[in-house]
Structure 1
């Protein structure tokens, strides 16, 4: 595995559109994609990423984020969304980092490798600790976070879901 993170660029259009379709067709949520599921298309998503790249231009309710595509060779295997700070909603339900791995690439160590690289990015941003969350039923995500040094803070109800909140010291 030679995983690397790259910021999305116009030449990634086809890869990102395929990634989006795979998740939507499978009924899976595209976590860590900074709203890819809700955007009307690639151009709309890239505009959202540009707006949310700085607090001064972030859309209402959003904070500055850095979004990365995770590649192994030429294969797009996942996405990572790093929020530079927490607002009330993120502090309660989402945390600093969201990520997703394409269904065909799961159970191969990509999530742990992606989170490790994301933590390096967080250090570059000057963060000293990061919060991560997952649904209690998402055992694979919890295992990934624990493998990277996360400590469970607590559990919160969000509708019918139980959200686990973890912290990692950097």
Structure 2
């Protein structure tokens, strides 16, 4: 796959993941997807929480099952993360959607987000999601471009807490076939 793959979070990538989190925190930027904000000081507990989100049945109010993956390159560097929600609730229909993703600051503008989303769409298809909702802030032109590059079709815009949110739908069977070549 041209040296890039989605891997499930594991102890094997602990140091690389922590390096990405440190880098992101130093920028002061919001970390997306939301799972990047989880406390990972106790890495085993962090991994258990991600597994619980994937397989658990008592997730609490407003939560749905979700799978988290890390995008890694041939050098085992963690470039970004994606969280795929298995189903949507009312809140996720407005903001969040099926797939949330982010690329570490030093690796942006290199095509990694487009690659990450394409691979995530394949995973979503494997979860039985034929049409995925992906949202982004209207001002996040890079994310909108990533979504469009993967076949996203703008459905609507809504203002949520003063921010215009764009809602795109992507047929998971139409995920970029050449994502491996980027």
Normalised TM-score (structure 1): 0.92
Distance in structure 1 (CA, Å) of the matches to 2:112 and 2:60: 30
**Deviation (angstroms), 1:57:** 3.7
Distance in structure 1 (CA, Å) of the matches to 2:159 and 2:112: 28
**Deviation (angstroms), 1:36:** 2.5
Gaps of 5+ in 2: 173-182
User: Secondary structure of 2:61's match?
Assistant: coil
CA contact (8 A) 1:35 1:45 kept: no
Q: Which residue of 2 aligns with 1:167?
A: 169
Q: Which residue of 2 aligns with 1:2?
A: 3
Match of 2:121 among 119, 122, 134: 119
CA contact (8 A) 1:131 1:168 kept: yes
Distance in structure 2 (CA, Å) of the matches to 1:126 and 1:91: 17
Q: Which residue of 2 aligns with 1:36?
A: 36
Written as runs of structure 1 = structure 2, the 5 A alignment for 1:1-170 is 1-32=2-33, 34-39=34-39, 41=41, 42-73=43-74, 74-170=76-172
CA contact (8 A) 2:87 2:98 kept: yes
Cα RMSD (Å) = 1.5
The alpha-carbon distance between structure 1 residues 151 and 125, as it changes in their structure 2 partners (threshold 3 A), is same
Distance in structure 1 (CA, Å) of the matches to 2:62 and 2:8: 22
CA contact (8 A) 1:30 1:100 kept: yes
CA contact (8 A) 1:86 1:95 kept: yes
Deviation above 6 Å: which 4+ runs of structure 1? none
Number of residue pairs aligned between Structure 1 and Structure 2: 169
Measured against aligned partners, the alpha-carbon deviations of 1:21-40 in whole angstroms (never above 9, x if no partner) come to: 211210122212x4221425
**Deviation (angstroms), 1:87:** 1.0
Measured against aligned partners, the alpha-carbon deviations of 1:125-170 in whole angstroms (never above 9, x if no partner) come to: 1111000001111000000000100011111111121111110123
Normalised TM-score (structure 2): 0.86
